Amino acid sequence: MDYIHITEMPDLRSPTLLLAFSGWNDASNAATTAASFIREELGGSEFASIESDIFYNFQDTRPLVSLDEEGQRQIAWPCNTFYACRTPHNDHDLILFVGVEPHLQWKQFTQIIYSLAQKCGVRMAVTLGALLADVYHRSAVRITGSSTNLELAERLGLKRSGYEGPTGIVGILNNLFKDQSLPAVSIWANVPHYVNVTPNPKAALALVRRLSEFLMIDVNVSELETGSTDFDDKVDQALESNKAVKEYVEELKHRSETEEEEESGGLPSGEDVAREVERFLRERERGNNGDADS
C-alpha cells in the first residue's frame, strides 16, 4: 500500500525542503510554530500528505474529536503534510513539511519523505528542532546548527554533531539524507527548561529570523515579536510567585551575563552564509552534471 497521498505535483524550481516535527524534537513547539508561521506567510499550498494508520499508536497519540458549525462530530488524525511555497524573488522555491513524530515504522516513514523529495527535485534539506536547556528566558535565543555533509559544514563553519544517545525522527532523517548524498542542515533553538509554555514565540521568532537569512526569504515577523515581548513579561510575572525558581533563574541570568558564548556549533548568520550555501549547491549541481556527461 502507498501511504502517501499526492493531490497534484507542484511545478517548483529546485526547491529546498524544510521539515519540522512535533514531539521529542520540538521543545515548547518552537520548531513547528516557526515552520507553520513561514508557511502561512509564504502562502504555502498543501499538495501531499502521509497516511497515519501504520505509523502511530493511537492509544498514545489519540485522534481528536471536534464539532463543526452544524454540531457534527469530526475526527482529526495526526497530520504529516507537505506544502509548496513559491518564492518568486529567489532562484529556488521551498517545500515545507509539518508533521508529528511517528511511533512506528520509522525507516518506511523517512523513506516516504525522501522519495517525495526526489520526485520534487529537492536540492537541500533543512530540519528544525528545539531543545530544553539551562538558558535564561530574557537572553537572546541561542541557535545552533550542524550538517552531516562535511563540505557544507566546513564552508558554513558548522561542526558535525557529536551527540551520542537516543535520537528522534530528525536524527533519523538527517542520517538518511547523508546516506543518499542530499545536503542537509539541522537548525535548533535552545529554550529554557523551567518555562512550561507552549508554544514559545520567542524561540520560534529566533528560528524564523535565522531561516529568513539562511533561505533568503522575506516574512513579516511583527506578530511573533509582539508575542515574544508578552512571553518575557508573563514569565517574569510567574516567577514572582515562586521564590525558589526565581532564585535559580537569577543564577542563570548571572551566568548568561558572565559566561562567554560557545563559538563551535553556532549557526552563522547573514547574507554571506546564504551566498555560500548557494555557491556550494551550484558547484554541486555542476559537478553532478559533469559526472552525468562523462
Reduce the secondary structure of 59-114 to three states and give it as a string: CCCCCEEEECCCCCEEEECCCCEEEEECCCCCCCCEEEEEEECCCCCHHHHHHHHH
* pLDDT (0 to 100) of residue 197: 77
Report, as an integer, the average pLDDT of 114-143. 94
Q: What is the pLDDT of residue 265?
A: 53
What's the whole-model pTM score?
0.90
Buried/exposed code over 198-231 (b: 16+ C-beta within 10 A; e: otherwise): ebbbbbbbbbbbbbbbbbbbeeebeebeebbeeb
pLDDT tens-digit readout, 244-255: 888 889 888 888
Tens digits of per-residue pLDDT, 64-115?
Answer: 999 988 899 999 999 999 999 999 988 899 999 999 999 999 999 999 999 9
Residue (of 178, 141, 138) closest to 267 by Cα position: 141
Domain architecture of the chain: domains with CATH = 4-293 (3.40.50.10900)
Return the C-alpha torsion angle 261, 262, 264, 267, nearest 10. -30
Looking at the predicted structure, is the pLDDT value of residue 18 above 60? yes
Per-residue model confidence (pLDDT) at position 195 = 86
Residue 271: pLDDT above 80? no
